[in-house]
Amino acid sequence: MTQKTILNDAHRALGAKMVDFGGWDMPLNYGSQIEEHHAVRRDAGMFDVSHMTVVDLHGANTRDFLRHLFANSIDKLKVPGKALYSCMLNEQGGVIDDLIVYYLAEDFFRVVVNAATHDKDLAWIEKHAPAFGVKVTERKDLAMIAVQGPNARAKVQSLLSPGTREKAAKIGKFVACEGDGLFIARTGYTGEDGYEIIVPEAQAVELWNRLLAAGVKPAGLGARDTLRLEAGMNLYGQDMDEAITPWEAGLAWTVALDEGRDFIGRAALEKQKAAGVARAMVGLVMDEKGVLRHGQRVVTAHGDGEILSGTFSPTLGKAIAFARVPAGAQDGVSVDIRGRLAPVRVVKYPFVRDGKPIDGV
C-alpha cells in the first residue's frame, strides 16, 4: 500500500507528476524539473519531505546512547538547537543510514532519517536504545517542508509572527529554533541557504499554501536529486549502503575517531583505515555532450569503477557524477556510455555551492 503525505492532494492540484519513492507517492516534478532546479538556485523553491522519518529520543542518557550509535561525535553539539550530520553504522562499518540529529535538551534529541530506510533504522535504534534507557518515539504526526534558495529564508520569515521571525532570522547554519508551532532548522539538501520546517500535519497544508502565495515555487524529487548532486551530497542507497564504509563513500569528514568513544562500527573502520582503503568516491565532470548515469562503467589506469549517482547538471550545463573508483585514479579516466569511452575529469566536489559553480569544475 503506497503511503501519502498530508500534502498529496496539494501536489495533485498543482499538476504534479507523481512517482513511487520508497513506498511513498511523491511529486517527481510539477512540469519542468529543470525550471524547478533553477528556481531553487536563483530564488526560492520548496519540497514536501514529509515522507522522511522524524524520531524523538528522550531520556537522561540520550547523549551517551548517541555517542555509541553514531560515527560522528554528538559531543560536537554543545548548544541546544544545534544539528549534526552523521552516519549510523553496523558492526562491519557499513552505512545503515545517514541522518541529521538535533540537540534540543540534554534529555531530548531529534533525529531525521531517510524514508526508504524507515523500518531498518527504527529497528536498529530500538534495538540499542533500551541499554541506555532511551525512549524512542516516531513522530508520524509531523510533516516537513524544505524551503531552499537565496530568497528562501526571507520568504519564510515574512510568514512568521514577530517573535518567531526574530529567532528564525538569527539562527546560524545547522541550527534550529521553535515558534508558531513550527520547528525551523537552517539545514537542507540543495547547497543553498534555507530552512527545513517540521510542522504538525494539521498545519501543513496551510503553511504550504502560504509559502506558495509568498512566491515559493514547488519543486519535486527530480530537482531535489540534481540539486543535491550538484551540492556534492550523498544519496543513501545509491552512493552508499550497508556494504560500504564512510571511507569509501566520501564521508570521512563525518567520522569522529575521538579518543575513548566506542561507537558501533569503529573497530571495523579503524581496521580498514590501517590496511588502506582500496576504493574512493570521486566527482566526475564530462565536458562532452551526453549524460552520466548510475551503473555506467568507469575506466581508470588503476582498474574499473562505477558511477553511483549521475545526472545532467542544470547549473553547469553538462553531466556530473559520483563514482566509486580504485584509490588513486585521477587522470585519463573515461566512462563507458553505450559502448563508447567518453573522457571525464576527476574533480573535487561540491560541483555547485550557493548558486555558483565551484572553481575547477
Partner 1 sequence: MNEIPGDLKFMKSHEWARIEDNGTVTVGISDHAQGLLGDLVYVELPSVGDEVKAGNACAVVESVKAASDIYAPISGEVVSVNSALADKPETINEDAFGEGWIFVVKPSNLAEESEELLDPDAYAELIENEEH
Residues forming contacts to partner 1 in the complex (CB under 8 A) are 17, 28-29, 32-34, 222, 226, 289-291, 293, 311-312, 314, 338
Closest CB to partner 1 among residues 34, 252: 34
CB 300, CB 271: distance < 8 Å: no
- Shortest spacing between CB 317 and partner 1, in angstroms: 9
The x, y and z cell numbers of residue 62, run together, are 540520550
- Shortest spacing between CB 337 and partner 1, in angstroms: 9
- Shortest spacing between CB 289 and partner 1, in angstroms: 6
126-144: b (≥16 Cβ within 10 Å) or e: eeebeebebebebbeebbb
C-alpha span between 277 and 251 (Å, rounded): 13
> What is the separation of C-alpha 234 from the centre of its chain, rounded to a whole number of angstroms?
7
Closest CB to partner 1 among residues 30, 124: 30
326 beta partners: 279
- Coil, strand or helix at 348: coil
The x, y and z cell numbers of residue 200, run together, are 504538525
Task: Work out the angle between the directed axes of helices 62-69 and 118-128 (0-180°, nearest 10).
Answer: 120
184 beta partners: 177, 197
**H helix or E strand, kind and range, residue 67:** helix 62-69
- Shortest spacing between CB 312 and partner 1, in angstroms: 4
- Shortest spacing between CB 32 and partner 1, in angstroms: 6
Closest CB to partner 1 among residues 188, 222: 222
- Shortest spacing between CB 120 and partner 1, in angstroms: 27
C-alpha span between 353 and 310 (Å, rounded): 18
| Full strand arrangement of the beta sheet holding 297-300 | 340-343, 334-337, 297-300, 303-313, 318-326, 279-286, 345-347
- Shortest spacing between CB 34 and partner 1, in angstroms: 4
Closest CB to partner 1 among residues 247, 322: 322
Helix-, strand-, coil-residue percentages of the chain, each rounded to 5: 25, 35, 40
Closest CB to partner 1 among residues 187, 313: 313
- Shortest spacing between CB 215 and partner 1, in angstroms: 22
Closest CB to partner 1 among residues 128, 293: 293
C-alpha span between 181 and 82 (Å, rounded): 19
Closest CB to partner 1 among residues 340, 348: 340
CB 270, CB 91: distance < 8 Å: no
Q: Which of 342, 221, 356 is nearest to 284 (CA)?
A: 342
Closest CB to partner 1 among residues 107, 336: 336
**What is the 3-class SS of 140-165, one letter each residue?**
CCEEEEEEECCCHHHHHHCCCCHHHH
- Shortest spacing between CB 148 and partner 1, in angstroms: 18
Closest CB to partner 1 among residues 127, 289: 289
- Shortest spacing between CB 358 and partner 1, in angstroms: 21
Closest CB to partner 1 among residues 175, 308: 308
C-alpha span between 175 and 193 (Å, rounded): 12
